[in-house]
Amino acid sequence: TLFRSHIFTCIALFIVSSSCHKEKVEPGDDNELITTVKLEFKSITNSSLPTKSFYWRDIQGDGVMDSADPIVLSKNTTYEMNVSLLDETKRPVFDISEEVEEESDVHLFVFKSNPLGLLNVQIKDLDKNGMPIGLRCEIKSQFAPGTGKFNVLLKHQPPVNGKSVKTGNEEGGSTDVDVTFPVVVQ
């Protein structure tokens, strides 16, 4: 009877202690897999020019670029550019751009042209705080033909002490996307 009483006490203590010390399981904040960056250019200067799409791809999602289309644009032309971020490992293809737009107050695209004047970018979309996002832009190609590179960065810049910290450049926050396209202006 003493043995039974001891076992019963141990079981009761185990049940009470495990119910008091349950670990709270929280879902992880996994980053989305971005396998494809699509840049779509529609001429504002000349509406007869076809809309062009250029892709940077890492289909395996291993961080190694599979391909980057050269961006080929007409000289001295203004374009509307739309950015799409895709996960092409999923069926159907998952459009991550929608999530970036939903969380636009903590996301910022930064565009860098090398050489500097090859492509001039003006961000057209704004978040709820009036800060730039970069999913929709206006791009003007340089006056003369030339070649170079176009770097697209997506920065995740959450607020600090309740205030937006979007800097307008690559400083601050973490980088969700950092891809480079070759460019030909002809």
Q: How far is CA 151 from CA 3, 28, 47, 79, in A?
A: 74, 30, 26, 17
Listed as ranges, residues in the chain with pLDDT below 50 are 1-30
CB-based contact 115:51 (threshold 8 Å): no
Pairing between β-strand 71-73 and β-strand 67-68 as defined by DSSP bridges:
unpaired
Taking the C-alpha atoms of residue 50 and residue 116, their distance in angstroms, rounded to an integer, is: 26
Q: Which residues are CB-neighbours of 95 under 8 A, at least 6 positions away? A: 84, 85, 86
- pLDDT at position 174: 87
Q: Which of 65, 62, 63, 81 is nearest to 73 (CA)?
A: 81
The DSSP element (H or E) to which 119 belongs, if any, is strand 119-123
Q: How far is CA 15 from CA 6, 11, 18, 20, in A?
A: 14, 6, 5, 9
91-104: per-residue pLDDT in tens?
999 999 999 999 99
Q: Tell how far CA 123 is from the center of its chain.
A: 15
- Three-state helix/strand/coil letters over 38-74: EEEEEECCCCCCCCEEEEEECCCCCCCCCEECCEEEC
DSSP state of 129: T
Taking the C-alpha atoms of residue 44 and residue 81, their distance in angstroms, rounded to an integer, is: 10
- pLDDT at position 39: 98
pTM: 0.80
The tokens describing 91, both together, are 């069926």
